[in-house]
Structures are given as C-alpha cells and as structure tokens.
C-alpha cells in the first residue's frame, strides 16, 4: 500500500502474510507529494503521485516492491491521477487547470512503463476527478463534467468515453447522469470489455447523497458523433457554422447521415430551426451536410436571445449514436416586441403589420367621413 506520511512524502509498505506483519517503510518520493495511486499487474507494481512541482510522477517495481525504478515525469497536474494496467500497457488519466479551465488528460505506455506516449487532452469541456479502467484493450474513462453548469443550476454530471484500441483513438463523450443534484467522484472497474461505474449524487431537494451504479457494455458498436464547433457556452449571432465528425465502430458499416437539432432551453416545447422556414415549433431532426466530416449553417438572425443546446446524432444503417450536445447562447435580440411578448419574431411582425393596416384603414375612414360632412 502507498500513502502520504506526516512529512507529506509518499511511502510504501507490503505484507506477505495477509496483513499479519508488514515491511519497513520505503519512501518513494524525495520531497513532499500527494495523491499516490498504486496498481498491481502480473508483471510489476505501478504507482503514480503528484510531486511538489505539480507534475505526475511514475515509478514501478518488478520484484514485489523490494526496489523501485527511478521517477519518470509525466504530465503537469497538481491534482490526483488514476492508473490502470493490462499486460504491458499502462494507462494514466488526470486533470489539470490550463487557460482558466480544468480538463482531463491521458497518457499511456505500451512497454511496461519504460517509455511514454505524448499527453493527450481527451475532454474538451470543464472536467475533473477522472477515473480509468481497462479490459481486453478497451480503455474506459469516466469523469465529473461541468458543461451543463450555469450560475442558476450549479450542477455537474458524470460522463464516459472509451478507446477500443488500447488508447490510440477515443470515441465521443457519453452523458450518464440526469439526476436532480450534483454528481461527482466516479469510479470505474472493468472486466470482459465491460465497465462498471459507481458515483455519488447529492440531491439538494432531499439534502442527502446517493450512490449510483451503471454497467457499460462495450462493443455495442454504436456509431460515434462529435460536435467540433461552436465551442461550449459560445455566444453566437448571424450565420453559425455547426461542424463535427462521425464514424462507425462496426467495420461492416459506414455513417449514412448525421442529424442535428437546436433546442431553446427553458421552453415548454422544443423550438428547432427548420432549414426552409428558419423558425419552427417542432423538434424534428435536420440532416446535416456530409458524414465523416459534417456541417450545417444555422441562421440565428431571427431567433430570440437566450440559451440553446445543439444536439447531433449519427446513423450507420443499424443504430443511432449517443447524442452529442453543446450549449450555446444566442446573443442577437431581433426585435423588442419578440423579447417582451416571448413570441417568435415573425408572429410579432405579422401582428404589427395587422395593427398598422387597421390604423391606416381607420385614418382613411375618418378622413372620408369628415370630407363627406363638408
């Protein structure tokens, strides 16, 4: 086991008799450190910790903890990292704050920790507290996500993504939680390609916490879709280009189409943009242009200002993907009457035209009436 001592250094101890006796302390960090994590594989003991310089460090032992390798500096982070090992592959996930945003990063080694591939940012939204597991080359990552956080709804949700080729490529983000409250601290365990995820949810209404569980069956071969732009919480106006990517996970299938819809948040009905009328009360999906790389020109010129969410899904002929979603804010206020009344702009325009016609006719009738009296 590993832990931080009173001097904030990382220490290791082991027991060879089911915990009856323990070896002497073995220091694994030269200076103050934090958040050690250790995993045992068939070939070695692997551990990581956060150094005093705010970097993740890695060490391993190939003789049951009697001696340890030199420190290897991995990615920059002052927060805890998590570790998963299978055969000669070592996977590390952590989060770090850069450019005023916390995001999840990933690193891997395929030679038992001797050398490491370059760090990869695998979550492009505010994200913290990731965990990782691996089974049969399928790498599972879960984390606490802040893309739905607003000043009035300060909630975090649990998200998931996976790599089906040992960390080389990654699928899209999948939202797990829709509970009322704040979800946090997910943990993932993998076996036979599947991942078993646990997390905590604090219900503000009931003022209590619950533990939730979900099993993810990998190799469901659902297609994957991602929204590349606009960015989360971006302020948009005029013609907005929605761009993304999609790919099939079943080698026998290809993406046939990508569909999107834009929903104004907070309405009793979903308002989506129709490509012909530009304003529609329905929530029908719109087919985007392209498949592997797709796009759509969204005209927000006549939309009410406020928060909207862009949804996208891909169809491979057998299944739809999980929905990708990006919240944005439409800045433009097309007309004060629409803002005050809450009606679609063309309805306000029609009412104004109707009122204007009535006023003009009334003026003409009054004029003709006065003229006839003369």
How far is CA 283 from each of CA 264, 268, 273, rounded to the nearest angstrom?
10, 12, 8
Q: Is the peptide bond before 21 cis (omega within 30 degrees of 0)?
A: no
Tokens of residue 4, six digits: 């931080």
Specify whether the CB–CB gap between 106 and 89 falls below 8 A: no
> How does pLDDT run along the chain (374 residues), one tens digit per residue?
999 988 989 999 999 999 999 999 999 988 889 999 999 988 899 999 999 999 999 999 999 999 999 999 999 999 999 999 999 999 999 999 998 899 999 999 999 999 999 999 999 889 999 999 999 888 999 999 988 776 655 678 899 998 888 999 888 888 888 766 788 999 999 988 788 999 998 887 888 899 999 887 765 567 889 999 999 889 999 899 999 999 988 777 899 999 999 888 754 333 344 333 333 333 578 999 999 999 999 998 888 888 988 999 999 887 788 888 899 999 865 454 444 444 555 566 677 787 788 888 888 877 777 766 65
Tokens of residue 356, six digits: 């204007």
Measured between alpha carbons, how far is 254 from 362 in angstroms, rounded to an integer? 64
Name the class of domain 221-334.
mainly beta
Q: Residue 27 is inside which H or E element, if any?
A: strand 26-27
DSSP state of 204: T
Measured between alpha carbons, how far is 125 from 145 in angstroms, rounded to an integer? 7
Domain boundaries, the chain: 221-334, 336-373
pTM over 0.95: no
Measured between alpha carbons, how far is 304 from 196 in angstroms, rounded to an integer? 42
Q: Which of 139, 19, 16, 35 is CA-nearest to residue 77?
A: 35
How far is CA 256 from each of CA 122, 173, 302, 314, 336, rounded to the nearest angstrom?
26, 21, 31, 8, 42
């Amino acid at each position: 086991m590993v832990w931080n001592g009173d001097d904030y250094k990382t220490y290791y101890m082991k027991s060879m008799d089911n915990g009856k006796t323990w070896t002497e302390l073995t220091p694994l960090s030269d200076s103050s450190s934090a958040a050690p994590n250790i995993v045992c594989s068939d070939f070695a003991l692997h551990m990581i910790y956060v150094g005093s310089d705010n970097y993740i460090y890695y060490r391993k032992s190939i003789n049951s903890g009697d001696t340890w390798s030199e420190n290897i500096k991995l990615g920059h982070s002052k927060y805890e990292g998590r570790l998963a090992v299978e055969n000669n592959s070592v996977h590390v996930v952590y989060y770090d704050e850069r450019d005023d945003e916390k995001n999840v990063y990933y690193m891997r080694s395929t030679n038992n920790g001797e050398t490491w591939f370059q760090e990869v940012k695998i979550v492009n939204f505010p994200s913290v507290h990731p965990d990782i597991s691996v089974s049969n080359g399928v790498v599972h990552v879960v984390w606490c996500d802040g893309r739905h956080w607003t000043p009035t709804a300060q909630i975090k949700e649990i998200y998931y993504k996976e790599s089906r080729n040992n960390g080389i490529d990654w699928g899209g983000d999948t939202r797990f939680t829709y509970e009322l409250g704040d979800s946090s601290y997910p943990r993932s365990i993998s076996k036979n390609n599947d991942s078993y995820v646990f997390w905590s949810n604090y219900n503000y209404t009931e003022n209590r916490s619950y533990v939730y569980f979900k099993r993810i069956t990998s190799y469901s071969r659902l297609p994957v879709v991602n929204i590349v732009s606009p960015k989360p919480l971006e302020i948009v106006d005029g013609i907005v280009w929605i761009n993304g990517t999609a790919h099939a996970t079943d080698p026998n299938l290809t993406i046939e189409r990508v569909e999107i819809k834009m929903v104004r948040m907070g309405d009793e009905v979903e308002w989506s943009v129709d490509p012909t009328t530009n304003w529609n009360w329905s929530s029908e999906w719109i087919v985007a242009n392209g498949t592997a790389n797709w796009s759509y020109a969204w005209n927000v010129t006549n939309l009410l200002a406020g928060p909207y969410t862009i949804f996208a899904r891909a169809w491979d002929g057998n299944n739809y993907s999980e929905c990708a979603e990006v919240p944005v804010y439409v800045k433009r206020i097309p007309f004060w009457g629409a803002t005050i009344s809450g009606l679609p702009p063309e309805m306000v325009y029609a009412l104004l035209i109707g009122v204007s016609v009535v006023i003009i006719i009334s003026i003409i009738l009054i004029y003709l009436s006065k003229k006839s009296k003369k």
